[in-house]
Structure 1
Amino acid sequence: MNSKESSSNFWKKLIRNRWFKWIVGIILAGFAAVLLFMGSVYFGFWGKIPDAKEITSLKQAIASGVYDHNGKLIGKYFIYDRELVAYDQLPKHLVDALVATEDARFYEHDGVDSRSMLRVLFKSILMGDDSSGGGSTITMQLAKNLFGRPDHGLFSMPVNKYKEAIVAGRLEDIYAKNEILTLYLNTVSFSDNTYGIESAAKKFYNKEVTDLTLDESATLIGTLKANHSYNPRLFRERSQLRRDVVLTQMQKYGYITEAEAQNAMLKNIKLTYRSFQSDEGAAPYFREQIRQELDTLLKQYKKPDGSDYDVYKDGLRIYTTLDLDMQEIAEDAMMAHMTYIQNQYEKAYGNYTPWRKNKKIFQSAMRKLPVYQKLKKEGLSEKEIIAQLEKKHSVHVLEQMKDTVLEISTLDSLQYHLKQLNTGFLALEPNTGAVRAYIGGVNFKHFKYDHISQSKRQVGSTFKPFVYTAALQNGTQPCAYFPIEAVTYKDEEDWTPTNATKNEDDDEHTFYSMKYALSHSVNTIAVKVLKHTGVDKVIDQAHAMGIQSDLPQVSSIALGTAELSLKELASAYASFVNDSRPIKPYYITKIVDKRGKVIMEHTTEKEAPQAFSDDTRQTMIEYMKATVNEGTATRLRYTYGLQNDIAGKTGTTQDNRDAWFVGITPKLVTVTWVGNDNHQIGFNSTRIGQGANAALPMFGRFYKKLNQNATFNDITNAHFEDPSEEVVAALQCEDRYEETFVDRLFGNKSTIKLKGEDTEEAQKKEDEKKKKRKGFFSFLKKKKAQ
């Protein structure tokens, strides 16, 4: 039998063999099952596969950025922290690192690398060797990034892999290799919930992607293998080892030389980390204020397709008035001062703390807690509720101005909250209203309440400049003298305003000049100036200067019993260095869409009318310069060494609940407030709680740092306008005046006496004295003529 016949008989026997038939049948059935499976995936049985049209018009949620007036990124609004960049913005070494590490044959395949897939099939699936990798190309990973991986139970891996292979092929048909790389780097997830290379560069290195160095690019690409395990913020050493693997791969495939690789490996990972979470980073209160304004503002504009803008998805660029460098200086000053004043505050109370010992205050606050109200609705008694609130658990509290986790009860954490002082800080350009620094509280994570946009507090003596401005506008001479003595006002329920400190000059024959009385914040005289001017005229003057809140028609507003916002004070005080005109604070300069089209741009509002004369403005600046040079704010000179042109006013409210300072310089108006959010709790003494101690130092620290930064020379070196000769002449008077016998008998033209009568009656008596004085001097002139 020849070999051909032998071979033919072998195949005939094999075909007739029952086992062979089974094996062939199983193979054919398996092949058919695979084809059926592939068909079910392809035709959408496991979910629709994106078609060419969807892939061509890819839409991704893009973070909107908030920028300062110099174009520096302050923060973002996002669902996914993603910003888009173009291919020409990507450094070559970044692209090379990606290809060398994730897909060495990227430029050779058409979306699916068959060689890699076979390697995965045999090594990973059949031999259980995880070292072979996932077999996904960059294009397949892009498909996953764009369209996700639905859960199909046991079939999830094969279904999703095949879907990604199909989509990858379609991506390669539509997009060039460079476009695929760009799409990938714009959508891939990096550490700390960051999407896209631009966002990662800004978060971890505080720079744009174009400025990344070789070792920085290798570090970020290294995190793609496992973005938590190789997070350079959390696991620096592990991340550095992974970076070196990336550099080794780059050398292996000829993208860098051995010397370049070794040089990069010698560098330790050095991050400049910036979080863009809403609770963290620079100016969180300001960013939240911008977000709220955008909610209303963007409703006025539509996208080209007629739909509404979405600040979380549409990649808007919001340019603001804030100066990030100034903001960071302000935040540093706030942190340093509030840490100090909080310690002073707690130490002064000692063991007799109102947030712990005062049951009325504590129980009132406890019953306002949402958890208390929830348990109350569930029918628990107060005793049962307290038992629940006394259970200890991990709680985030603010301690020494730092977020601290303690094992304490809800009631313990309430005490931490009650004892915490809070603050507001606003700095704006008086000529434009552009807000340059904005601090709404001590810590946005713990205290969402914004003390600039939401709060109104009694303003204390910071209201007095409105009283004195009204007096000057209504004919009171700059060198008018008022008696310092305390007076009981019969027309106001026997009200007797007094001064913060007892003075040896407190008698009816000692008079202070207007300048001295304001600069030393003399309460008794402030009320007399208001009485002399008229409360209605003072209220009208304050409103003309930018105060929008309703003001009570009572004389106590001279001492700041009205509740106003920081913005109102800043607007009104700006008039002293803005040609006597109030200014409206604003935050947003323009909004640009992701294509660069300007959606909205700030327009200057019509100039407000002058609220008072040039002479009054110059006189008031001289009064408030004296506050800094010789009055209640002198520590700006002797403690902080500030030699700038500064005017200002301190303020302290009843029971030391609120401390204020308003600092005026020719190109910047700054308002600071410090107090407790619980109005029942104040400082335990005026020594600690007065504006000069509790609020002014924040401004002092802030301006001292501005002086050290040449960037702000234009602000810090500015000078007030020189007062006119007439104003200078009108201010030539002594601070203090002792009434003589002749003055008592006939009155002095420059002294104004107001006893406890109402204003109209007091004015009549003053007019009578003027007539007597005029008649006496006429008599002397006649005698001399004779």
Structure 2
Amino acid sequence: MSAQEKPSKKKSWLKKLVVVFWVGFTLAIIGFPAYLWAVSNNVNNWFGSLPSYSQLGNPEQNLTSLLFTADGVQLGSGYYRDNRNPVSYDELGDNLVHALLAAEDIRFNQHSGIDLESMFRVAFGVITFSPKGGGSTITQQLAKNLFNTRVIKKEDKGKLEGINGFLDQLIYKTKEWILAVRLERSYTKEEIMAMYYNTVEFGNNAFGIKSAAKTYFNKMPKELSVDEAAVLAGMQKGVTTYRPDINPENSKRRRNVVLSQMVKYGFLAQQAYDTLRTKDINLDEFRQQDHNTGLAQYFRAEASKDLLELCKALGYDLYGDGLKIYTTIDSRMQAYAEDAMDSAMQRIQNKFDSLLKIEGRDLWIDNRGREIENFFEENAVPRSVAYRNLVRKYGKESDSVDYYMNRPKKMTVFSWGGDIDTVLSSRDSIRYYKQFLQSGFLATEPKTGAIKAWVGGINFQHFKYDHVRYGKRQPGSLFKPFVYATAVEQGYSPCYTFKDEAVAIPTGNGDEVWSPSNSEGRFSGEEMTLKLAMARSVNSITARVMEIVKPNKVVDMAKRLGIKSTIPPYYSIALGTEDVSLFELLGAYGTFANKGTHIEPYYISRIEDKYGNEIYRHVPRKSKAINEDVAYVMLNMLQETVKSGSGQRLSWQYGLVDRGQTKNNIGAKTGTTQNGSDGWFIAVTNEVVAGAWVGGDERPIHFTKWSDGQGAYTALPIVGRFLQKIYADNTLSIEKTFFERPPNLSIEVDCQKFADVLTTTDTSNIYDDDIY
């Protein structure tokens, strides 16, 4: 090779290098922007579409709809697909802001969505095989979270997506760059920071920082300490890996990394870091947010059913639109109701269990206290969820059904002393749970129909069935006021007298007659007023009144007062033989306290959308059921139950009224079914109507003695304790008041000739209170 050829080859190589440089430079200057333009506009549908500018201004997120009490307390964690409650930047606090900047994007306030310095650092790390961390800014991560750039529906994919993994990553990253720049143009830095914290997941069904702060530390975001903020900010590197509840050591190490970064960037003093780095993460307040925790669990579950329909009619998504739902529930009254039920039901259950043990019998008995053979196997087991699921899977005749029903397994079961971890078969667990007596409680404001407290059962986590609305049972003597109200409306004074004696009333069905007995099984022969007969639940006199006023008139009265269940016009309905709900009964009794105007009980007062615009306001449903005179007479008669009947405990045990009701007026009525399987009690005042039901999960589950299962024993203590609590709470402003007598009352209510009997007869010991 000649000497002239060597320089020629060198020049040729230099020319090629120059060409490559200019080609690369041209591609960088022209090609890359063209590529960005092509991705942005999805040229030829190669890359898949990007969110529109309108979507950027209003990005779609599943937001939690929140439920609030009338006194401003949030009920539970709300209704959600993702448990997400958005917060503003001002609600974050400095600790969260500084922790995120130090951990994820210290130049956040300087760049416009893309941090070139970080990108070059990452690129150099890839080239030199020495990665130096991620290059995504907070804004890029927000874009990914908001618009799911890496989870694309098949119909939305571009032609180049899904062909090659590297190409997919490039397209995804490019989209995030573009979206990050657009977000920076659409929002302030503060808004982006808040949006980021509102979109990220923290595990344990906590979406967004507000839910996370509540779940892990039971605090609002602004209340988080610097180390708590570092825990939550640090979780974004890997939620599961750094969850403090399941990986505490990993979480602690990651927290300390964030804290050290905060020291590095001047957000935290070295001395504070030295103290905090050795500190364990305190999760004493950790509570996974779900529908089994918090106040008014039964109410929230029942409300969701109506809210789904209401929101659908309004054109909103209950589980995704972030609505604010304002209820009539009062948090204080609700807490008192739950406390009253817990306190009373524990005592009642102890009594039931001890008698069951002494009597040595099975759970299921008939009206005479005799065991019902094979009831468990023939009725309880086949109706269970576990049995039905197995039959659906294997067939009714399959041996597998019995095998799995009898197979022991680990489970956590309810007890009044706290949940118990144990080993039981499905069959044994059914029997175990059946032994618990159930209950329902409701309190309303009669003048408005607003529901103030709702407790559907003894424990929502283990017993989901709501006994307020769906637990229809025979009301027993609670139905009698409807009979007497019909008589009063037809002109009978509560002072009208009847004799307590056997009756035989033709039913109109051939030779069949109706001859009810009294609960004591005997007739006293005593002449007594209608007022006293209702107070003492004398069946014979109620039957005589029913014979006079006729069943169809009583049915009409019950319907006007608010009973919606089907009530056939039979004579026997006078004693409460047809099933009704506590919800219906409270509405009916509230009519007496509301001067004869029935207002349908309600619990949703208004709803706002996520922007605070009102989209619904409840309009009370009112109807004039009876005139004011009849309503007052019924209140007067119900007072007699507290003075001389089965409601006297409100006076001598709970101190709610004095003997003559000279300091406070309370009307009341007990109800007990024939075999004592259902105990009821309702109390009526001007401000509150409160009622409770207590009974077994199935009708054959009850006390052997009728007297042990009567409403005065079982249901009254729940109502009594509740009223005690609300009267003692000065913040509620519920006063002890008198029923307002109509100025021109035309019906005689002051039965003076019986006053001596009522004031001299000591009946305070007619109910044994050994249970309490």
Task: Identify the TM-score tier after normalising by the shorter chain.
Answer: 0.7 to 0.9
1:60 maps onto 2:61 in alignment: yes
Q: Of 187, 190, 193, which aligns to 2:202?
A: 190
- 1:621-640 to structure 2, matched below 5 A, reads 621-640=635-654
Would you say the 8 A contact 1:398–1:416 is kept in 2? no
| One-letter code aligned to 2:374 | K
Would you say the 8 A contact 2:493–2:748 is kept in 1? no
- TM-score w.r.t. length of structure 2: 0.80
Residue matched to 1:387? 403
Deviation at 1:734, TM superposition (A): 1.6
1:145 maps onto 2:145 in alignment: yes
Deviations along 1:191-231, one digit per CA (max 9) or x if unpaired, are 42222223334545666545656565445434444444555
Q: Of 440, 445, 464, which aligns to 1:448?
A: 464
Q: Of 474, 483, 495, which aligns to 1:458?
A: 474
SS at match of 1:482: strand
SS at match of 2:452: strand
Residue range with higher mean Cα deviation, 572-581 or 540-549:
540-549
Would you say the 8 A contact 2:498–2:528 is kept in 1? yes
Residue matched to 2:768? none
Q: Of 328, 332, 354, which aligns to 1:325?
A: 332
Deviation at 1:283, TM superposition (A): 2.0
SS at match of 2:298: helix
Alignment partners' CA distance in 1, 2:256 and 2:545: 76
Deviations along 1:257-313, one digit per CA (max 9) or x if unpaired, are 568778989998476566553343322332233322233323443xxxxxx321222
| One-letter code aligned to 2:609 | D
Alignment partners' CA distance in 1, 2:380 and 2:698: 9
Deviation at 1:529, TM superposition (A): 2.8
Deviation at 1:584, TM superposition (A): 0.6
| One-letter code aligned to 1:734 | F
Deviation at 1:184, TM superposition (A): 0.6
1:367 maps onto 2:382 in alignment: yes
Q: Of 169, 172, 176, which aligns to 2:188?
A: 176
Residue matched to 1:720? 739
Residue matched to 1:688? 708
Alignment partners' CA distance in 2, 1:600 and 1:55: 28
- 1:726-745 to structure 2, matched below 5 A, reads 730-734=750-754
Deviations along 1:711-740, one digit per CA (max 9) or x if unpaired, are 22x2243443357797787321326989xx
Would you say the 8 A contact 1:672–1:696 is kept in 2? yes
SS at match of 1:189: coil
- CA 1:321–1:207: 2 relative to 1, 3 Å: farther
Residue matched to 1:498? 517
Deviations along 1:410-433, one digit per CA (max 9) or x if unpaired, are 212222343333222111110111
Residue matched to 2:73? 72
Deviation at 1:60, TM superposition (A): 1.8
Residue matched to 1:777? none
Would you say the 8 A contact 1:150–1:160 is kept in 2? no
Alignment partners' CA distance in 1, 2:230 and 2:737: 48
Q: Of 724, 728, 747, which aligns to 1:704?
A: 724
Alignment partners' CA distance in 2, 1:383 and 1:241: 53
Residue matched to 1:469? 485
- CA 1:370–1:543: 2 relative to 1, 3 Å: closer
| One-letter code aligned to 2:718 | M
SS at match of 1:428: strand
Deviations along 1:386-411, one digit per CA (max 9) or x if unpaired, are 23321222345433385555332221
Q: Of 532, 551, 563, which aligns to 2:567?
A: 551
Residue matched to 1:353? 362
- CA 1:642–1:414: 2 relative to 1, 3 Å: same
SS at match of 1:424: strand
- 1:593-612 to structure 2, matched below 5 A, reads 593-605=609-621, 607-612=622-627
- CA 1:167–1:327: 2 relative to 1, 3 Å: same
Would you say the 8 A contact 2:140–2:180 is kept in 1? yes
Would you say the 8 A contact 2:95–2:224 is kept in 1? no
SS at match of 1:458: coil
Residue matched to 2:450? 434
- 1:234-253 to structure 2, matched below 5 A, reads 246-253=258-265
Deviation at 1:460, TM superposition (A): 0.7
| One-letter code aligned to 1:277 | D
- 1:93-492 to structure 2, matched below 5 A, reads 93-117=95-119, 133-148=133-148, 149-150=150-151, 155=166, 163-204=175-216, 208-209=220-221, 217-228=229-240, 230-231=242-243, 246-255=258-267, 269=282, 276-301=289-314, 308-350=315-357, 351-354=360-363, 358-369=373-384, 372-373=387-388, 375-376=390-391, 378-379=394-395, 381=397, 384-400=400-416, 404-489=420-505, 491=507
Alignment partners' CA distance in 2, 1:10 and 1:281: 85
- CA 1:618–1:267: 2 relative to 1, 3 Å: farther
Alignment partners' CA distance in 1, 2:127 and 2:715: 69
Deviation at 1:448, TM superposition (A): 3.5
SS at match of 2:75: strand
SS at match of 1:438: strand
Deviation at 1:502, TM superposition (A): 5.5
SS at match of 2:691: strand
Alignment partners' CA distance in 1, 2:484 and 2:383: 42
Rg bigger for which structure? 1
| One-letter code aligned to 1:321 | T
Alignment partners' CA distance in 1, 2:126 and 2:205: 29
* Structure ranking higher in helix proportion: 1
- CA 1:233–1:474: 2 relative to 1, 3 Å: farther
Deviations along 1:349-381, one digit per CA (max 9) or x if unpaired, are 224223698413432232234554565564552
| One-letter code aligned to 1:86 | S
Alignment partners' CA distance in 1, 2:741 and 2:280: 57
Residue range with higher mean Cα deviation, 282-291 or 483-492:
483-492
Alignment partners' CA distance in 1, 2:725 and 2:270: 46
Alignment partners' CA distance in 2, 1:684 and 1:14: 110
Residue range with higher mean Cα deviation, 181-190 or 333-342:
333-342
Residue range with higher mean Cα deviation, 420-429 or 119-128:
119-128
| One-letter code aligned to 2:291 | S
| One-letter code aligned to 2:67 | V
1:647 maps onto 2:667 in alignment: yes
Would you say the 8 A contact 2:495–2:749 is kept in 1? no
Q: Of 660, 675, 680, which aligns to 1:660?
A: 680
Would you say the 8 A contact 2:599–2:623 is kept in 1? yes
Deviation at 1:9, TM superposition (A): 7.9
Alignment partners' CA distance in 1, 2:596 and 2:395: 60
Alignment partners' CA distance in 2, 1:238 and 1:334: 43
Alignment partners' CA distance in 1, 2:249 and 2:668: 52
Structure 2 unaligned spans of 5+: 153-161, 365-370, 658-663, 759-772
Alignment partners' CA distance in 1, 2:325 and 2:202: 24
- CA 1:458–1:608: 2 relative to 1, 3 Å: same
- CA 1:596–1:734: 2 relative to 1, 3 Å: same
Would you say the 8 A contact 2:64–2:320 is kept in 1? yes
C-alpha RMSD over aligned residues = 4.1
- CA 1:574–1:56: 2 relative to 1, 3 Å: closer
- CA 1:144–1:299: 2 relative to 1, 3 Å: closer
Structure 1 unaligned spans of 5+: 302-307, 739-786
Deviation at 1:90, TM superposition (A): 3.5
